[in-house]
Structure 1
């Protein structure tokens, strides 16, 4: 995983965990703090901070003595959190850029439709 300098590493790890939950790679149990720290080559305390963040957001739950698990409504909570973040922070910047660059809504719509067609094809065996 390549980390970006403009965002805290624990938030990037939380997003990585969220991605794996949303794509259903992790349906029930998630990797332990140590396992993920080794996989991502980061300090376990950083992973612990990401997991604490996700627990506060009710995306994961800690079952004492058993491990960390995906919360029952994790996908809905993740989508809601990410949607609010996108609409509040990223969308205004996106609008500013398309306005400055004089990109039409029609061009954005066309590229979005192409993106959806390209990325929603069934995977080949």
Structure 2
């Protein structure tokens, strides 16, 4: 995984876990990779994954069954959507709008490119 410099690694891993859940690759109610396994997969220190999992537990997106492992919560999709939506609307969208304004990009162009993106990536 390629990490960005402007965001803490544990938050980037949290986004990765949330994306896996939203895409159905780690379904709600199902076990997710262990701290050690995810650390190996992403080539990060297991302590960073522990911090990620603690963060996601605080958001009630995942939970720990002691001795068994971590699981995606049954309502994980709703919780992730609410959390990421709020994060996007408060932090990313204002930057996006500013860039659109500065570059004189029309909403119609954005809409067309969005439709093309969805067709290419999710169909």
TM-score by length of 1: 0.93
Give the alignment partner of residue 118 of structure 2, picking from 96, 108, 116. Answer: 116
User: Which residue pairs with 1:70 in the alignment?
Assistant: 72
Q: 1:53 aligned to 2:55?
A: yes
> 1:21-45: per-residue Cα shift (whole Å, max 9, x none)?
1111112000111111111111111
Aligned residues: 121
Q: Which ranges in structure 1 are unaligned for 5 or more consecutive residues? A: none
How many Å separate the matches in 2 of 1:14 and 1:49?
A: 9
Trace 1:78-117 onto structure 2 (pairs within 5 A). Answer: 78-117=80-119
Q: Over aligned residues, Cα RMSD in angstroms?
A: 0.9
Q: Which ranges in structure 2 are unaligned for 5 or more consecutive residues? A: none
Q: Which runs of 4+ in 1 moved over 6 A?
A: none
Q: CA deviation at 1:118?
A: 2.1
